[in-house]
Amino acid sequence: MATHAQAASHDAHDHKPHGWRRWVFSTNHKDIGTMYLVFSCVMFFVGGTMALIIRAELFQPGLQFVDPQFFNSMTAMHALVMIFGAIMPGWVGLANWLIPMQIGAPDMALPRLNNLSFWILPFAFVLLLGTLFVPGGAPAGGWTMYPPLALQAGDSFPMMIFAIHLMGISSILGAINVVVTVMNMRAPGMNLLKMPLFVWTWLITAYLLVAVMPVLAGAVTMLLTDHFFGTSFFTASGGGDPVMYQHIFWFFGHPEVYIMILPAFGVVSEIIPTFSRKPLFGYESMVYATAAIGFLSFIVWAHHMFTVGMPLAGQLFFMLATMLISVPTGVKIFNWCATMTRGSLSFEPPMLFALAFLFLFTIGGFSGLMLAIVPADFQYQDSYFVVAHFHYVLVPGSLFAIMGAVYYWLPKWVGHMYDMKLAKLHFWLSAIFVNVLFFPQHFLGLAGMPRRIPDYATQFADWNMVSSIGAFGFGFSQLLLPYIIIKCVKAGAKAADRPWDGAHGLEWELPSPAPFHSWEVPPSAAVIARGAEH
């Protein structure tokens, strides 16, 4: 009897839900990671459609397709959807898939919390996108929601605030899960300085998330009470200060930029050594540089605000602190270049995206350095130069790194290889059109074109037309990505156990063993022992 009871209990324990239940009630880190990545992809196309509406309107001077109110709603919604709906869930999806496997853990530490943190997101974005259908339209005060403009929104205002609260809760829960998993569930023998760099970058990102998301929650809650309950935090007529909102918002906003880029550093640090057949150069310096970037991101927020009338001492401090943050970033760039130096390079799709990241992210970094210089920033402030700068950091930066990560790990995830020719075509179309789209915006900004305007003077017409052509080329070329993935899952050739080794002639050509911090599978005891010897 006992044996039968044990068997029944064992069967019940082993029973895995099928169909929709598998996804709705999932506590499996791989399933949840997949849901995050699919959600990220859907939001990427939603936000991309909004971007195409913006670029269609700016194709030539005059008002063509949408009224100015809707245009401003599109700029605000595009940013919120891309940041909170596409980039951040994309990174959380990769964290769910990879962190347990890379540290030798069976799953994330808090599986039910993991499920909850994902399922909050669809409801948050139904609320956010629902603002497009209420009287008065979606908020048109920009994604930064500066008062007093943001306080003039109609019925959509509280919906947007609540949606942002939900996104923040989801991010905080996901970050707590990462911290607890990494700190408590590493395989025996793996100390912190033996973790893969992707895990390190995500650990630091998780601490940033826990620190700054409540700051955003506080800022938008004060906006809400100003709007509905008669407080005057940011209302000048009641003794409040609109500039205080900017300080609070950017204290969240600048670490948020690094939340979106740090995991990209981790991904690139995994891809470049593999396709260079060399261990990563300067592993420990990369870890310390990542930590330094995380720390410095908290003390540079007011470089977004050089034109608000802050004292000269404040301008100098934030200028120098912003310049300082380029030092650890430069360490990373040089280490990636050193990894490739005299390596046996091959250029599969993940490596192509990593190299594009390296080159184009550096362009974004240099334009950021230009913006850090106070007297120059007085000219660039709120111009298209700023738009070009942050898109160079976020699109060829965060987005290309996510795509490179998907192309790198997809064969391990689904057991099939994807179509290399199509993947390379996707890369080249993306790399060419992303520059056609964003590089002319530097010229527009230097010539004096303001951002967030639906109409413009005729001297800006030519470069706007080029930029819009680039936008449609880039947007439509992204349709290749889901096609390549679906084709791979359904009909791809079987992948080798180590897809980037023998199957494509990518053996490690080194007298020393492969680096112990580049696992594609949970480490065995022998591998951990080898790492301990290092």
Residues serving a catalytic function are 78, 107, 143, 170-171, 254, 256, 258, 269, 303-304, 329, 332, 451
Cα–Cα distance measured from residue 520 to residue 408, given in angstroms and rounded to the nearest whole number: 10
Q: How far is CA 12 from the centre of its chain?
A: 39
The DSSP symbol for 393 reads H
Can you spell out the DSSP letters for 23-54?
HHT---HHHHHHHHHHHHHHHHHHHHHHHHHH
Answer whether 343's CB lies under 8 Å from 278's CB: yes
B/e letters for 351-380, b = 16+ CB within 10 Å, e = fewer, are bbbbbbbbebbbbbbebbbebbebeebeeb
How far does the chain reach from its first CA to its final CA, in angstroms?
Answer: 53
DSSP state of 277: T
Q: Quick check: 412 and 520 in contact, CB under 8 A?
A: yes
CA distances to 47, 197, 253, 333, 346 from 341, in Å: 38, 20, 36, 12, 13
Contacts of 479 (CB under 8 A, 6+ apart): none
Q: How many CB atoms lie within 10 A of CB 283?
A: 20
Residue with tokens 């100390």: 191
Burial of 338 (0-12, 13-18, 19+ CB in 10 A): middle
- Of 514, 12, 17, whose CA–CA distance to 270 is shortest? 514
Q: What are residue 503's phi and psi, to 5 degrees? A: -60, -30
Say which amino acid occupies 194. Answer: K
Q: Which helix (H) or strand (E) holds 96?
A: helix 88-103
- What the block records as the tokens of 480 is 């290749």
For residue 525, count CB atoms less than 10 angstroms from its CB and return exposed for 0-12, middle for 13-18, buried for 19 or more: exposed
* Cβ count within 10 A of residue 342: 9
Closest CA to 252 of 284, 216, 218, 280: 216
Distance CA 452, CA 69 (A): 11
CA of 204: how far to CAs of 29, 266, 300, 499, in Å? 20, 11, 17, 29
* Dist CA 395 CA 477 (whole Å): 14
